[in-house]
Amino acid sequence: MKSAARLIPSLSQPLRSSVRASSARTLLPLTRANVAGPSSSSLSATRLYATTSIPPKSSLPSDANIGGSEVAGPSANGSEAEDVPSNLTFEELEQEADDEITRALAEEDAELSSFFTPSSGRFEPVLLPISSLASPTPTLPSDAELAISLPPDVFAQPIRRDILHRCVIWYLSTLRSGTKTTKTRSTVNYSGRKLRPQKGTGRARLGDASSGVLRGGAPIHPIKPKNWAQQLPRKVRELGLKIALSSKLSSGLLRVVQDLNEGSWTGTNDARRALCNGVVVNETPVELEPILEATEAGNESTLRAEPERDIQTINRFGTPEDLSVLFLHSPAKSPEQLLEFHRVVRNIPGIELMSTDEVEAYHVLKYKWLVMEGGAVDAFSGVEAWEEGADYLHEVEPTEQPQSVAA
């Protein structure tokens, strides 16, 4: 901005004089030909000043040039007439302006490199250890010691509670059926006969029995079917889903597995035991010398020491009462591949199986734990769609072009 401000031409002489000449004013003869616009006549080369001050002598047109047929043509050295007014002067700032622009760009690059440090993690992939459903501790990293790279534009978004609130309200509004309705005066089971005459009874006028002021009549303002669905931009919904996934990752409730069928559960009970918290009892035998005690009958009895029991609690996804897990799979997975897993988890309360095409921010926030397979991560990052498009292009063979027949 400083360099741009310094490139503005400076005025060597003000356009309007500070002291008005009240007695004498220089008036130039104006004709219709001068004002009408561009013309090829000799008057088109005349410069006129929209001011009451005295213009420079060098720029005043002579009477001979105005009234005669001679036109101010090129100068003796062959250059055209100068279009810039003589009272404007420019400073030579080209080299200085270029230096300042180069310096500003260098400073901008330095600020960008210092603002996003390598340790900030904004543009770096997020590494998450892979878990395993076949492990006795599915919430801990697996023994394979593998990690998956999560895209930061999906799993490293800043938390926006307002966006999440808008997404949840929008989804709940789409669930409302809006089919509630009540009868009106035309649908209640009454005839349209007037109950009593209009006049002559001394009582208030009254219509038919379906009137809203009578007991059993139709409501005054009946409830009609209504569409409660709200509108929310698609980009806002996508941003809400990314923020919900980022919140699960930041809170430590996101797990990624290689395949949902790796548990090989045979039934619902096996799946429930593998997902809920468990208790492991380890008995340690203690070797002690037998202790002899005399009884009242005079016989001796031997007391054996009981083994020590070490009770350990294995924390998984929660207790059976508080189980809340959402499993996400890739949309490219066929229903046959998900049939066995869906069969064993569909009757467990608090378990939901969804595809990445169907999930919304509401579902991610509704369940406590989020378990995704590797294909679901690729679907969110767009890698899977790119691979499908590349495979399709490889499968399509180029069509043979007909050979041209010479005439």
Question: Within a 10 A sphere around the Cβ of 353, how many other Cβ atoms?
Answer: 16
Residue 70 has pLDDT above 50, yes or no: no
> Which two structure tokens, joined as six digits, stand for 168?
């949840």
> Which two structure tokens, joined as six digits, stand for 31?
């004709």
pLDDT for the residue numbered 272? 94
Q: Which of 79-83, 248-252, 344-348, 403-407 has the lowest mean pLDDT?
A: 403-407
Domain ranges for the chain:
152-178+233-276+317-392
Higher pLDDT among residues 156 and 95, named by residue: 156
pLDDT for the residue numbered 373? 93
Closest to 361 measured CA to CA, from 193, 222, 165: 165
> Which two structure tokens, joined as six digits, stand for 128?
């998450």
Rg of the Cα atoms in the chain: 44
- Would you call 329 helix, strand, or coil by DSSP? strand
Higher pLDDT among residues 45 and 173, named by residue: 173
Supply the mean pLDDT for the chain. Answer: 75
Give alpha helix (H) positions in 293-360.
335-345
Residue 5 has pLDDT above 50, yes or no: no
Higher pLDDT among residues 385 and 51, named by residue: 385
CATH class, domain 152-178+233-276+317-392, is: alpha beta
User: Mind giving me the DSSP string for 15-79?
Assistant: SS-SS--SS--------HHHHS---SSGGGG-----SSSPPPGGGPPPHHHHHSS------TTSP
Q: Stretch 210-232: mean pLDDT, rounded? A: 92
pLDDT for the residue numbered 294? 54
pLDDT for the residue numbered 267? 93
pLDDT digits (tens, 9 = 90+) for 120-132: 445 678 899 999 9
Maximum distance among all alpha carbons in the chain?
Answer: 157
pLDDT digits (tens, 9 = 90+) for 331-383: 999 999 999 999 999 999 999 999 999 999 999 999 999 999 999 999 998 87
pLDDT digits (tens, 9 = 90+) for 155-187: 999 999 999 999 999 999 999 999 999 999 999
What span, in angstroms and rounded, lies between the C-alpha atoms of 139 and 314? 10
Higher pLDDT among residues 102 and 398, named by residue: 102
